[in-house]
């Protein structure tokens, strides 16, 4: 169905898409997303505004996020139910990936 | 009791439709269902209540009202396909409101498509009419006016068929023109409602545009420098590098001419700036707000049609890497592909049409008169122009792909 198609499209997720969805656990403005990700990753990831705009537009078409305006008529983005589901699946995948990394790390130390 | 209303042009003025729904609920008719394909609005009688309605358009919506809006106090009235209608009590004041941006994007695309179709049809119609007039004039001058007496006149059925076809064509034409102008009016209204408090009419580095006299004086005293550059829109990365090199030489970009062919620079001193030349197909205001909030300044915005070109500039803070407009290689490549497709459509199709019409003219009359030679030369010039522009675009794509 539609949801399955999105899941196949978005898993595994690009780092950009993943961090954008992480930021959107609460509704945010576009620039708020960039600031949130920069603070969360301690400056490691500085999302470009062009990239964020393109990814947000694509996610909106794929129904992963919804758009509204707040009191000041600025655009606010929020995750939909489908978006949360896709993010949860990706987080599970990353957790498994991390567990395997930790368990196999020993083989790669000199 | 059910009541149905037919509103075929309800989407051309969404705000008017929303006010109509509000008035209906106040007079005791509650919106029950809407068939968006047949444009029928169904109401059932209920107690009069003061409701505020809003129409949302979001592609692939499936009518699921976002949880944020539901939590803020909105209730779903009707949903179907890409449209939804939500409502709330006039007394309540939700903290979040739906945005008109989705509808604006859809309307702009629709208007763009209709505009192109109208232009193409009008062009074909004019070409046909002129060609027919030329043929008739040529034949009458050679063979005399008697050439056009037919052996037996067209039958009544044939006349009727022709009339029906002409009527159908004229009706379609009229509907397209009506829709185009209604959409234009609706879009300017929606743009005002979308807000975002933008001021896009004065894009300049220092946020000031000098009066013409002042600019002429500065040009003469060499404090303002003019440079021409052709086809810079077909190689955005080279243009960015050129502008950054200019900054290092002490020439700071001030503005572009309205045609987009001349660049004006201040001669103030070297600066560390990062330039981005970007393309969007009718981006809503959120695009401009997002980039502005991220610290980019808009210097130039032009070339509406398929692709709107914008030049953005950002200061490079000392001891910091240059800010990136596209931080993700994949998103950058996707953007480049969109740019190529739109340029192919915008360049290739009209050029091919021109060349086709010229071909017809050249080979219709098989003599070597000056008009023919002129058409041939024009055709060759257009083809060369097209090939050069396309080759620049293709080389740009491969440069980006290598990185």
The DSSP annotation for B170-202 comes to HHHHHHHHHHHHHHHHHHHHHHHHH------S-
CA atoms of B333 and B279, how far apart (whole Å): 13
Answer yes or no: do B293 and A67 touch at CB < 8 A: no
The pLDDT value given to residue B213: 81
Higher pLDDT, B126 or B305: B126
Q: Mean pLDDT: which of A33-37, B66-70, B143-147 is highest?
A: A33-37
Predicted confidence (pLDDT) at residue B203 exceeds the cutoff of 50:
no
Which residue bears the tokens 């060369």? Answer: B384
Mean pLDDT of B275-302: 87
Among A54, A71, A73, the residue with its CB nearest the CB of B331 is A54
Q: Is the pLDDT of residue B153 over 70?
A: no
Mean of all residue pLDDT scores within chain B: 81
A45-61 pLDDT, tens digit per residue, is: 999 999 999 999 999 88
Q: How many CB pairs under 8 A join A and B?
A: 127
Q: How far apart are CA B217 and CA B324, in angstroms?
A: 36
More confident residue, B183 or B285: B183
Mean pLDDT of B296-308: 79
Mean pLDDT of the region B319-332: 89
Q: Record the tokens describing residue B246, joined without a space.
A: 């200019």
The highest-confidence range among A88-97, B6-15, B157-166, by mean pLDDT, is: A88-97
A65, closest residue in chain B (CA to CA): B66
CA distance A30 to A24: 10
Identify the pLDDT of residue B206: 46
B281 touches chain A (CB under 8 A): no
H/E element, B94: none
**Is B94 touching A (CB cutoff 8 A)?**
no
Residue with the bigger pLDDT between B192 and B364: it is: B192
Average pLDDT value for residue range B382-398: 85
Q: How far apart are CA B39 and CA B62, in angstroms?
A: 18
Q: Say yes or no to pLDDT of B96 above 50.
A: yes
pLDDT digits (tens, 9 = 90+) for B208-247: 667 778 888 888 888 888 888 888 888 899 999 999 999 9
Q: How far, in Å, CA of B108 to CA of B121, rounded?
A: 20
Helices A49-61 and B329-343, axial angle in degrees (round to 10)? 70
Position A2 pLDDT exceeds 70: no
For A16, the closest of B59, B68, B328 (CB atoms) is: B328
Find the farthest-apart pair of alpha carbons in chain B and give their distance in angstroms, rounded.
89
Q: Look up residue A28 and give its DSSP letter.
A: B
- Subunit contact B66:A34, Cβ cutoff 8 A: no
Confidence of residue B361 (pLDDT cuts 50, 70, 90): low
CB-nearest partner of A50 from B60, B98, B326? B326
**Confidence label for A99 from pLDDT (cuts 50, 70 and 90):** very high
Bridge partners for A69 per DSSP:
A75, B97
pLDDT in tens, B100-109: 877 887 888 8
pTM: 0.74
User: What percent of chain B stands above pLDDT 90?
Assistant: 8
| ipTM above 0.85 for this complex | yes
Q: Does B98 touch chain A (CB under 8 A)?
A: yes
What does the pLDDT read at residue B198?
52
């Amino acid at each position: 169905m539609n949801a399955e198609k999105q899941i196949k499209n978005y898993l595994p997720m690009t780092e950009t898409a993943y961090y954008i969805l992480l930021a959107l656990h609460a509704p945010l403005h576009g620039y708020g997303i960039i600031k949130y990700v920069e603070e969360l990753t301690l400056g490691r990831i500085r999302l470009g505004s062009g990239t964020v705009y393109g990814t947000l537009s694509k996610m909106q078409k794929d129904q992963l996020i919804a758009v509204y305006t707040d009191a000041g008529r600025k655009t606010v983005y929020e995750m939909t139910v489908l978006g949360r589901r896709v993010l949860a699946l990706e987080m599970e995948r990353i957790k498994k990936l991390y567990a395997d990394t930790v368990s196999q790390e020993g083989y790669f130390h000199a | 009791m059910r009541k149905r209303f037919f509103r075929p042009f309800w989407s051309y003025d969404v705000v008017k439709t929303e006010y109509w729904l509000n008035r209906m609920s106040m007079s005791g008719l509650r919106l029950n269902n809407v068939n968006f394909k047949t444009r029928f609005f169904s109401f059932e009688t209920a107690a009069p209540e003061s409701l505020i309605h809003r129409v949302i358009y979001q592609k692939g919506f499936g009518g699921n009202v976002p949880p944020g809006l539901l939590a803020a106090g909105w209730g779903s009235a009707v949903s179907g396909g890409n449209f939804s209608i939500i409502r709330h009590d006039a007394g309540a004041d939700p903290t979040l409101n739906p945005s008109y941006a989705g509808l604006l994007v859809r309307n702009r695309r629709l208007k763009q498509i209709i505009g192109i179709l109208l232009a193409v049809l009008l062009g074909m119609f004019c070409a046909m009419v002129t060609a027919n007039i030329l043929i008739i004039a040529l034949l009458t001058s050679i063979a005399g006016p008697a050439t056009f007496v037919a052996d037996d006149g067209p039958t009544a059925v044939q006349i009727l068929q022709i009339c029906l076809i002409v009527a159908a064509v004229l009706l379609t034409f009229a509907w397209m023109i009506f829709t185009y102008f209604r959409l234009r009016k609706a879009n300017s209204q929606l743009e005002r409602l979308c807000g975002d408090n933008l001021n896009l009419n004065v894009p300049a580095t220092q946020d000031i545009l000098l009066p013409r006299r002042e600019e002429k004086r500065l040009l003469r005293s060499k404090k303002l420098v003019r440079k021409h550059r052709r086809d810079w829109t077909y190689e955005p990365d080279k243009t960015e590098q050129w502008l950054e090199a200019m900054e290092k030489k002490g020439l700071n970009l001030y503005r572009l001419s309205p045609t987009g062919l001349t660049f004006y620079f201040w001669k103030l001193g070297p600066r560390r700036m990062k330039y981005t030349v970007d393309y969007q197909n009718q981006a809503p205001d959120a695009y401009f707000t997002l980039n502005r909030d991220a610290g980019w300044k808009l210097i130039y915005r032009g070339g509406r049609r398929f692709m709107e070109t914008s030049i953005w500039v950002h200061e490079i803070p000392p001891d910091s890497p240059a800010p990136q407009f596209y931080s993700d290689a994949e998103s950058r490549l996707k953007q480049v592909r969109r740019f190529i497709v739109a340029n192919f459509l915008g360049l290739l199709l009209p050029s091919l049409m021109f060349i086709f019409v010229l071909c017809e003219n050249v080979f219709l009359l098989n003599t070597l008169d000056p008009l023919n030679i002129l058409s041939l030369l024009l055709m060759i010039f257009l083809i060369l122009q097209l090939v050069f522009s396309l080759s620049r675009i293709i080389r740009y794509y491969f440069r980006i792909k290598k990185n």
